[in-house]
Amino acid sequence: STDGGRNLSLDSIPMGLPMSDPTAWATAMNNLGMAPMGMTGQPLLPDFDPALGMMTGIPPINPMMPGLGIVPPPIPPDMPAVKEIIHCKSCTLFPPNPHLPPPATRERPPGCKTVFVGGLPENGTEQIIMEVFEQCGEVIAIRKSKKNFCHIRFAEEFMVDKALYLSGYRIRLGSSTDKKDMGRLHVDFAQARDDLYEWECKQRMLAREERHRRRLAEERFRPPSPPPVVHYSDHECSVVAEKLKDDTKFSEAIQTLLTWIERGEVNRRTANNFYSMIQSANSHIRRLVNEKAAHEKEMEEAKEKFKLALSGILVQFEQIVAVYHSASKQKAWDHFTKAQRKNISVWCKQAEEIRNIHNDELMGIRREEEMEMSDEEIEDPSEMKETEESALVSQVEALKEENDSLRWQLDAYRNEVELLKQEQGKATRDEDTTKEQQMKLLQQALQGMQKHLLKVQEEYKKREAELEKVKEDKLKIETLLENLKEQEGSTSRVCACSQEKECPVEKTLSTSPVKSEREVLLVGIISTFLHVHPFGASIEYICSYLQRLDSKICTAEVEVLMTRLQNTFRQELSGVGASLEKRWKFCGFDGLKMT
């Protein structure tokens, strides 16, 4: 009915998406990871579980959430929403062809709440526009133009997306078929200063909140400031004096005393109190010295324990190395496999190196002790004798240890020599294999060089054939030049005879235009060339032909020569304007009659 046309619901108009399959829109939004919502913001499926969406790991987005500016993504082309007829109170909206592509839209401005609506009927009024678009949400303002378009501003951003859904619909006012009562809606984003201003205000508010949150986090993780030092007073002075006598509170009290002195609290009245506190601090030095002596005693005891433990470790190392050396002897060595022998020799080397390091460390400790003993002043001669005897005993023990270590090193060197011999045998075999590989590589290189040599010989033969062709061409050109010379000589003789007969006086006065034999040759070659070209040729074409014979010939020289011989060559102009072209023609036959 018309009364219920404005109440949009799931079963009435496409705004609530009435479809043949009522769960199609819900399935599409579920696949996009969003809660299924109608155009009015009502949930389509009350028992929707966001964890069932296809886009797992992404929190569900509610596109109708006001104030956040979140816009639902466009429906994919493989899941088109079915658009149906929308019946309003004063008009009817017919859906576009579903097979046509979706209408184009401009880029969405930030915080867009305003849409452009074009294609309105000529008889459309603001009441009809309000009736159609108030179903998308609260309309704040409508600015209608006389040219069948308007701008509509909504209260929230998500309402713009609902209005874009109507783009492409054909609108008809009532049941009229007049063109003025019909139109095709085109809805697009519009850029409005009010929308941009509100969006910028919202961004600034969010930035302020973020800065406030960061400041709170920094203050929470900032270390606490040290406690303030109390101001000087007689009572505080007595408290600090008592703390200076207590070992547990001495560090705190000495810091307070230092701060008071630096502040300048010492004067004639308080000098005695400060002196007593300084005296208490001085008495604390004795306690510190006693503590240091106790720690040194503990350190000496720890050194003795370390020395005893180190000597025990060295004894065990000696035993282990002795086991390795006895296993390396011929009786037991022959029964081990090759890998076992290698492991035993490696273990023996490692044990000897560690043993030698510990031995050097122990000897260094003993030398330090001897140095300390020599620095002390010993008054009792009996104690000197005991120290000398102990020094001799330690030297004998050290010599024994050095002798043992040298003997073990000698055995280790023997084992290394045997291993080197075995490795040399392997190396000789490896050298044989490497020599074979080198021979193969050399053979391959020789084959490549032979192939290259054959290619070079073929190229040499080709070049020889080309050279013979060039020589033949040269001989042809020479014969042609000789013929030209003969023709030029005969023509010059004829000209000379005619000039002697007719003008004997002019012969003596005038000079010949051809000055050298080279110019005679050039005139003959040019005459032959132009004789073959009866329609003439440009000076560049003539010079390109002459430069094949002699690369030193220049265009200016040829042009000067041809201008001097006006009875032999004639210059003609052809074309108009930019296509003007100069051509030289051979006119020797006509010039012979004229001369």
Give me the half-sphere count of Cα atoms (radius 13 Å) on the Cβ side of residue 288: 9
Q: Which residue has the tokens 């010989």?
A: 457
Q: What is the pLDDT of residue 230?
A: 85
Mean pLDDT, range 120-148, rounded to an integer: 90
Report how far Cα 65 is from the mean position of its chain's Cα atoms. Answer: 39
The per-residue b/e assignment along 74-84, b for 16 or more CB within 10 angstroms, e otherwise, is: eeeeeeeeebe
Distance CA 592, CA 497 (A): 13
Distance CA 546, CA 522 (A): 8
Has residue 392 got a pLDDT over 60?
A: yes
User: Between 515 and 310, where is the model more confident?
Assistant: 310
Phi-psi region of 17 (alpha: psi -120 to 50; beta: other; left: phi over 0): left
In angstroms, how far is the first alpha carbon of the chain from the final one?
Answer: 117
Q: Which residue has the tokens 């509170």?
A: 249
Task: Please check whether residue 53 is in contact with residue 32, taking contact to mean a CB–CB distance below 8 angstroms.
Answer: yes
Name every residue whose Cβ is closer than 8 Å to that of residue 287 and which is 6 or more positions away in sequence. Answer: 247
* Single-letter code of the amino acid located at 170: R
Report how far Cα 186 is from the mean position of its chain's Cα atoms. Answer: 44
Biggest CA-to-CA distance, the chain: 157
Q: Assign 3-state DSSP to the chain and report helix, strand, coil percentages, each to 5.
A: 60, 10, 30
Closest by alpha carbon to 250, among 302, 289, 212, 288? 288
Distance CA 570, CA 555 (A): 16
Distance CA 295, CA 289 (A): 10
Task: Please check whether residue 408 is in contact with residue 352, taking contact to mean a CB–CB distance below 8 angstroms.
Answer: yes
Has residue 20 got a pLDDT over 50?
A: no
Range of weakest confidence among 43-57, 268-282, 479-493, 518-532 = 43-57
Q: What is the pLDDT of residues 215-266, one digit of tens each?
A: 999 988 888 777 788 888 889 899 999 988 888 888 888 888 899 998 888 8
* Single-letter code of the amino acid located at 392: L
Which range has the top average pLDDT, 79-88, 135-144, 222-231, 409-418? 135-144
Q: What is the pLDDT of residues 427-484, one digit of tens each?
A: 777 777 888 888 888 888 888 888 888 888 888 888 888 898 898 889 889 888 888 8
**Residue 569 backbone dihedrals phi, psi, to 5 degrees:** -125, 145
Has residue 333 got a pLDDT over 70?
A: yes
- Share above pLDDT 70 across residues of the chain, in percent, rounded to a whole number: 79
CA dist 214 → 92, 218, 221, 222 (Å): 54, 6, 11, 12
Task: Please check whether residue 133 is in contact with residue 145, taking contact to mean a CB–CB distance below 8 angstroms.
Answer: no
Task: Please check whether residue 151 is in contact with residue 143, taking contact to mean a CB–CB distance below 8 angstroms.
Answer: yes
Distance CA 164, CA 142 (A): 16
Give me the half-sphere count of Cα atoms (radius 13 Å) on the Cβ side of residue 378: 13
Q: What is the pLDDT of residue 247?
A: 84
Q: What is the pLDDT of residue 482?
A: 87
Cα angle value 280/286/291 (rounded, 5°): 125
Distance CA 153, CA 159 (A): 9
The per-residue DSSP string of 162-211 comes to: HHHTTTT-EEEETT---GGGEEE-EEEE---HHHHHHHHHHHHHHHHHHH
Range of weakest confidence among 69-78, 83-92, 161-170, 482-491 = 69-78
Mean pLDDT, range 584-592, rounded to an integer: 81
Q: What is the pLDDT of residue 577?
A: 67
Has residue 12 got a pLDDT over 90?
A: no
- Share above pLDDT 90 across residues of the chain, in percent, rounded to a whole number: 17
Q: What is the pLDDT of residue 365?
A: 83
Q: What is the pLDDT of residue 69?
A: 40
User: Average per-residue pLDDT in the chain?
Assistant: 78
Distance CA 592, CA 595 (A): 5
Distance CA 351, CA 535 (A): 107
Q: Which residue has the tokens 């210059």?
A: 571
Q: What is the pLDDT of residue 153?
A: 95
**Residue 453 backbone dihedrals phi, psi, to 5 degrees:** -65, -40
Has residue 48 got a pLDDT over 70?
A: no
| Total Cβ atoms within 10 A of residue 30 | 22
Distance CA 360, CA 369 (A): 14
Report how far Cα 592 is from the mean position of its chain's Cα atoms. Answer: 83
Task: Please check whether residue 593 is in contact with residue 494, taking contact to mean a CB–CB distance below 8 angstroms.
Answer: no
* Single-letter code of the amino acid located at 226: P
User: Between 2 and 129, where is the model more confident?
Assistant: 129
Q: What is the pLDDT of residue 517?
A: 83
Task: Please check whether residue 22 is in contact with residue 10, taking contact to mean a CB–CB distance below 8 angstroms.
Answer: yes
Q: Does residue 151 sit in helix, strand or coil?
A: strand
**pLDDT level of residue 63 (50, 70, 90 thresholds):** very low
Has residue 279 got a pLDDT over 60?
A: yes
* Single-letter code of the amino acid located at 330: Q
